[in-house]
A and B are shown apart, each in its own frame.
Chain A
Amino acid sequence: MDAPHPRRHLLAIGDLDPVQINRLFARAEGFITDGDTRPDLRGRLAGATLVNLFYENSTRTQSSFELAARRLGADVINMSPRTSSVAKGETLLDTAATLNAMGPDLLVIRHSASGAALLLSRKVTCSVINAGDGRHEHPTQALLDALTLRRAFGTIEGLRVAICGDIIHSRVARSNVVLLTLLGAEVRLIGPPTLAPKGAEDWGARVFHDMREGLKGANVVMMLRLQSERMEGAFIPSPREFFRFYGLDAEKLAWAAPGAKVMHPGPMNRGVEIESGVADLESRSLIETQVRTGVALRMAVLEDLARGDLDVNLKREGR
């Protein structure tokens, strides 16, 4: 299959430079509608096909991509490995070859193995978007988080962002550390040593085991989901101990900068990593905004990758 331009993928934040990121943001801003009226954009990607290949359960990311694609007029196929040939033992690469033969334009993959998206991208002729590979990266989540922050604060430069909870197993944390640092924020990582080891300082963020100290002066508190299989003794003793020391409640939020905003990539464990009162606090919580921004950001990513506009623009600028 001939590609009109070199195939481009979004596998990790490191694939992007600040210019590309700002263009994506500008494009996404155009897709954010605050009112009831939504312009019909179904001509933008009419005729294009997007395949959602989700090996891990996901409600919000999968539907966010699907909605983004449909709003741009693309056709969407949702492959659920549990009800497909994968359940019969097909390997990832065999599935990829089969899908590739159908000639999609965009392939969105979520997989429990780190590096799965990269492996796939080497075997297909369409653009691959990493929607989460193991503990490695979840670039569109980080991009939508950053865009949410930019809209809330005007700029990301100089913000102090505290990411709290299960850092070591989090692809969201990894992508966010890279992206927010690149955009000029100071990122802090907070959690018990089993989930936020000092070694994570190599990522370029300071690690804190004491939440009070870590939250000092933070403009943004980003809580991560604690997977239930990690709650009972392997990495933390119990959900109640985790909540006592690392769960975000009103008291701990007061340790952050005045008016600090709260984020969560979802889905939330209320009462484990975040108290309901804080998650639902309209003046402080950006959690719903994150979801809304997510669709627009993913529309921007899809359009960019499918049409390759960004490359054309970059060439015109002599890059």
Chain B
Amino acid sequence: MARRTLFRNARLLDPASGRDEPGALLMDGDVIEDLGPSLLAEAFGPDIEQTDCEGLCVAPGLIDLHVATGEPGAEHKETLKSAGRAAAAGGVTTLVVSPDTDPPIDARAIVDFVLRRARDASLVRIYPAGALTRGLAGERIAEIGLMREAGAVLFSNGGRTIANSATLRRAMLYAGGFGAGGFGAPVMHRPLDPFLGGGVMNAGHFADRLGLPGVPAAAESIGVFRDLRLAEATGAHFLLDQISAAESLPLIAAAKARGIDAGASVSAAHLALNELDIGEYRTFARLSPPLRTEEDRQALVAALREGVIDIVTSGHDPRPTEEKRLPFEEASAGGVGLETLLPTLLTLVAEGRIPLLRALFTVTAAPAVFLGLPQGRLARGAPADCVIFDPLAPWRLNAENLRSKSRNSPFDGRLFQGMVARTLVGGRIVFDSGRLPASGTVEKER
């Protein structure tokens, strides 16, 4: 018989249903058996394991749609195992790995490989995103149907924008034939005009002063307009990947007002940082898309609050030191983010910028619905993927302590409010900070 565990004295947070109340949650093996305020500890006998949550928050584990790893092909940057470890520490229980590996995830054999490696080595649930085009080259449609059958849950071109609009249109159309439940297969694409996208930071006064080539906000908004029009014309089940510029937001709001099946995501870094964080050529703040102005950042936070932006991702992009300890223009773009995704959101919540349930919705129920996954909610019968966190605990990030193989965090040295105490995947503890009294055994990595 499966092990049953009661988490009592908890603040239950379920963004899908709007639940925010004290109570208890009962897990039966790998699923949630019951939860609620009337679930009293006294009703259970001594045979049930009990954890006193000491009033901490219990929420669905996070689902992260944008995680780059180095497996296969660049295991020195990040493996599925090390990404899983970082995810567990960040309260992320499901992650979707980007197809930009070597070889890219563009055929069913690679999908099989990632799923098998993830199953054998990772603490959290890992699903592959399949490439939209073969070799991510942006020219020919990849084997979307076969990859979907093998277990790819999302299709994207990774960090590489498809320049050819006819190719993107056909890929969107084609993916529409391989969905479920009335939607096409989920498609995510990074909007960018290929001719304007060549710079290394946000275009503007600061870039001019630093003497660095800039990427204008128009590079993104032109891409946003094109991608949304194509999504509308093809009926694609579509998500814009990593919006960074304020001027993109009215286009997204207008598309939603027309009722099209398209949403937008933003990376946590773009909600918390701006171009000034580059300071004196800090390459760890070189991201793609680039960090933009403070006005852009504030507009992104407002858009997230108001529902113009639907989903927050970590934008996790591990880069080893040798790619970052270079002159700014020569350094590669990207930052790790799995361990700072939830803390970034909780800090915005603590600052009063966004309500707690709304913040959690964008990393749990919203991505789950977009992908059609059963997790991402606290409900009877749902997978027992949970994060237990202290919403107010302050801490300072020391990148040395990150679990990723690469430690290129743009947040190094930054203060956060909100700390993960424990993470469970399928009822098993995959991360424990020691904040709560010990109960059961922490899952060891295999």
- Please state if B177 and A209 are interface contacts (CB–CB under 8 Å): yes
- Please state if A238 and B174 are interface contacts (CB–CB under 8 Å): no
Known: A209-B176, A209-B177. A235 touches B170 (CB 8 A): yes
- Please state if A237 and B173 are interface contacts (CB–CB under 8 Å): no
Q: Which of A192, A198, A232, A240 is the one whose CB lies under 8 Å from B174?
A: A192
- Please state if A194 and B146 are interface contacts (CB–CB under 8 Å): no
The answer, yes or no, to whether B4 is at the interface (CB within 8 Å) is no
- Please state if B173 and A233 are interface contacts (CB–CB under 8 Å): no
The answer, yes or no, to whether B142 is at the interface (CB within 8 Å) is yes
Question: In whole angstroms, how far apart are the Cα atoms of A55 and B317 in the complex?
Answer: 54
Question: In whole angstroms, how far apart are the Cα atoms of A192 and B148 in the complex?
Answer: 14
Question: In whole angstroms, how far apart are the Cα atoms of A236 and B134 in the complex?
Answer: 11
**Interface residues of B: mostly helix, strand, loop or mixed?**
helix
- Please state if A233 and B134 are interface contacts (CB–CB under 8 Å): yes
Question: In whole angstroms, how far apart are the Cα atoms of A233 and B167 in the complex?
Answer: 9
| Closest residue of A by beta carbon distance from B140 | A233
The answer, yes or no, to whether B338 is at the interface (CB within 8 Å) is no
Q: Which of A197, A198, A234, A244 is the one whose CB lies under 8 Å from B141?
A: A234
Size bin of chain B's contact surface? 10 to 19
Total number of A residues with any Cβ neighbor in B under 8 Å: 18
Q: Quote the shortest CB–CB distance from B120 to chain A (angstroms).
A: 27
Question: In whole angstroms, how far apart are the Cα atoms of A233 and B134 in the complex?
Answer: 8
- Please state if A237 and B177 are interface contacts (CB–CB under 8 Å): no
Q: Which of B147-188 contact A (CB under 8 A)?
A: 149, 170, 173-174, 176-177
**Interface residues of A: mostly helix, strand, loop or mixed?**
loop
Question: In whole angstroms, how far apart are the Cα atoms of A236 and B175 in the complex?
Answer: 10
In the bound complex, residues from chain B placing their C-beta under 8 Å from that of A192 are 145, 174, 177
The answer, yes or no, to whether B143 is at the interface (CB within 8 Å) is yes
| A 179-204 to B, binary, CB cutoff 8 A, 1 in contact else 0 | 00000000000001110011000000
| B 254-267 to A, binary, CB cutoff 8 A, 1 in contact else 0 | 00000000000000
Question: In whole angstroms, how far apart are the Cα atoms of A245 and B185 in the complex?
Answer: 15
- Please state if A193 and B145 are interface contacts (CB–CB under 8 Å): no
The answer, yes or no, to whether A241 is at the interface (CB within 8 Å) is yes
| Closest residue of A by beta carbon distance from B234 | A193
- Please state if B140 and A193 are interface contacts (CB–CB under 8 Å): no
- Please state if A237 and B144 are interface contacts (CB–CB under 8 Å): yes
Q: Quote the shortest CB–CB distance from A223 to chain B (angstroms).
A: 18
In the bound complex, residues from chain B placing their C-beta under 8 Å from that of A238 are 143
Which residues of B come within 8 Å of A, CB atoms? 133-134, 139-146, 149, 170, 173-174, 176-177, 234-235
Which residues of A come within 8 Å of B, CB atoms? 192-194, 197-198, 209-210, 232-238, 240-241, 244-245
The 4 closest A-B pairs by CB, nearest first: A233-B140, A209-B177, A237-B143, A193-B173
